[in-house]
């Protein structure tokens, strides 16, 4: 095992955290999708013209769903990195990301140092 990578036990702990996040995210996406469907089906009746409020509410929910799906993709990618035993390695520096950072932002691919380097490049 690379001294830069986390142990199987540590990776399993992160997998548990990420799996719980994934389940929560999937439930939220499902709720928002239901809300979108209800607004589309029930949000207006024959006497009510589509209003700005209706449109903005629908747009807001669709934006939220998009962000949630994107976040779910990041969670799934983190779970793949765990399976590949590359989780917790900074994509910029190649160094181990501190556990505290991973606990705070479990989907991250960058250490604080790596984030600074990347920000300087862009």
What's the first-to-final CA gap in the chain, in angstroms? Answer: 33
77 part of a folded domain = yes
- Structural domain boundaries enclosing 20: 8-86
- Residue 68 is predicted with a pLDDT of 97
Q: What's the pTM?
A: 0.84
CB 86 within 8 A of CB 5: yes
Of 25-34, 36-45, 55-64, 100-109, which range is least confident? 36-45
User: What digits encode the pLDDT tens for the residues 77-104?
Assistant: 999 999 999 999 999 999 999 999 999 9
CA distance 2 to 11: 13
Give me the number of domains the chain comprises. Answer: 1
User: What digits encode the pLDDT tens for the residues 59-81?
Assistant: 999 999 999 999 999 999 999 99
CB 44 within 8 A of CB 54: yes
112 part of a folded domain = no
58 part of a folded domain = yes
30 part of a folded domain = yes
81 part of a folded domain = yes
Q: Which residue carries 């439930």 as its tokens?
A: 27
69 part of a folded domain = yes
């Amino acid at each position: 095992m690379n001294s830069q990578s986390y142990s199987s036990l540590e990776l399993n702990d992160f997998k548990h955290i990420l799996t719980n996040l994934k389940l929560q995210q999937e439930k939220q996406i499902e709720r928002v999708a239901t809300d979108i469907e209800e607004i589309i089906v029930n949000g207006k009746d024959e006497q009510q013209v589509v209003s700005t409020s209706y449109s903005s509410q629908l747009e807001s929910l669709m934006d939220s769903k998009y962000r949630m799906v994107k976040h779910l993709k990041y969670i799934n990618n983190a779970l793949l990195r765990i399976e590949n035993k590359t989780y917790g390695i900074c994509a910029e520096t190649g160094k181990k990301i501190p556990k505290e950072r991973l606990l705070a932002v479990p989907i991250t691919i960058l250490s604080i140092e790596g984030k600074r380097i990347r920000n300087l490049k862009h």
